């Protein structure tokens, strides 16, 4: 990142959900390094406190709020705290999410409900809470962290795939509805990313297949034509790009970061 890149978001205020680790953490730090004041939320207070300290170390304002984004009352409280801390927002990054897998035969209803709640309904709750202020100021950026599973089906991940397809559908519907207010809405669709969530997937594969950890990791790497996991900072770079004024012509789009596994 050049020195000029580091000032592209000066004066902007951002909120990132699910920011305690992985992709969300990388996005929050990248936005701060680009000049934005950043509020972050997650369920774990220790993760948020550490991240806020890193944001402030960049010279930007940092606000941390513990929040379960599947609970609408907590989302409203988070919105109030963020608004008081930053004075409003210009950039909303819906990153909170989780993965789970099971054969569709005898699929647990609890897993279905949990995948939809954290990967889809949370986007609805958070966006609904923040969008009135974006409409009032007639400008804003909404960036939803979806998945390559928003674009294609996958074995043993019916609930996750359905939720992520829903996230992309919601992205496109909001892009149309919010267009008159100069608000862009886009989705980033990563493949497997080198994060703790993928580590959990590797452990799950190991437990159910008898593979070693190295073999399970290699199996996920092979889902990409580049034979590697995506890095969180690659996703963060696209989020910063979409947040900039120069990206105002991009809306309703799903940007794949998957090493070329899905070319559409």
CB 19 within 8 Å of CB 45 = no
- Identify the residue whose tokens are 């980033």: 188
CB count within 10 Å of CB 69 equals 26
Question: Of 124, 125, 156, 160, which is the active-site residue?
Answer: 160
Is the pTM higher than 0.85? yes
Please write the tens of the pLDDT for every residue from 123-155. 999 999 999 999 999 999 999 999 999 999 988
| Active site annotation includes 192 | no
Q: Which residues of 107-119 are buried (b: 16+ CB within 10 A; e: fewer)?
A: eeeeebebbbbbb
The phi and psi torsions of 158 (rounded to 5 degrees) equal: -60, -45
**Over the stretch 95-131, which tens digit does the pLDDT of each residue have?**
999 999 899 999 999 999 999 999 999 999 999 999 9
Domains, the chain: 5-191+231-256 (3.40.50.720), 193-229 (no CATH)
* Mean pLDDT of all residues belonging to the chain: 94
Is 22 in contact with 193 (CB distance < 8 Å)?
yes
Q: Could you tell me the pLDDT band of residue 7, with boundaries at 50, 70 and 90? A: low
Cβ pair 193, 146 in contact under 8 A: no
CA–CA distance, 192 with 185 (Å, rounded to integer): 23
Q: Whole-angstrom Cα distance, residue 171 to residue 150?
A: 11
Cα(first)–Cα(last) distance of the chain, in Å? 28
The number of C-alpha atoms within 13 Å of 179 and in the hemisphere containing its C-beta is: 11
Answer yes or no: are the C-beta atoms of 187 and 168 closer than 8 Å.
yes
- Tell me the pLDDT tens digit for each residue of 188-213: 999 988 888 888 788 878 887 888 98
Closest CA to 55 of 18, 94, 8, 19: 19
Whether 141 and 238 have beta carbons less than 8 Å apart is answered as no
């Amino acid at each position: 990142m050049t020195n000029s890149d580091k000032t592209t978001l000066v004066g902007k205020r951002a909120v990132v959900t699910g920011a305690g680790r992985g992709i969300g953490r990388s996005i929050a730090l990248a936005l701060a390094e680009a000049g934005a004041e950043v509020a972050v939320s997650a369920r774990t207070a220790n993760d948020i406190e550490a991240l806020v300290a890193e944001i402030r170390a960049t010279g930007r304002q940092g606000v941390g709020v513990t929040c379960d984004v599947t609970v609408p009352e907590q989302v409203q409280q988070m919105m109030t705290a963020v608004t008081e801390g930053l004075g409003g927002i210009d950039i909303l990054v819906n990153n909170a999410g989780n993965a789970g897998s099971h054969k569709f035969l005898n699929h647990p209803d609890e897993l279905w409900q949990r995948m939809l709640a954290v990967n889809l309904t949370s986007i609805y709750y958070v966006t609904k809470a923040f969008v009135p202020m974006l409409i009032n100021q007639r400008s804003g950026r909404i960036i939803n962290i979806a998945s390559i599973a928003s674009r294609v089906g996958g074995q043993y991940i019916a609930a996750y795939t359905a939720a992520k397809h829903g996230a992309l559908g919601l992205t496109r519907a909001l892009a149309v509805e919010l267009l008159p207010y100069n608000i862009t809405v886009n989705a980033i669709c990563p493949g497997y990313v080198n994060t703790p969530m993928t580590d959990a997937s590797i452990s799950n594969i190991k437990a159910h297949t008898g593979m070693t950890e190295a073999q399970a990791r290699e199996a996920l790497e092979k889902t990409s034509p580049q034979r590697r996991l995506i890095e969180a900072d690659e996703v963060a770079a696209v989020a910063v790009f979409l947040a900039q004024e120069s990206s105002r012509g991009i809306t309703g789009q799903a940007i794949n970061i998957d090493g070329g596994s899905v070319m559409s």
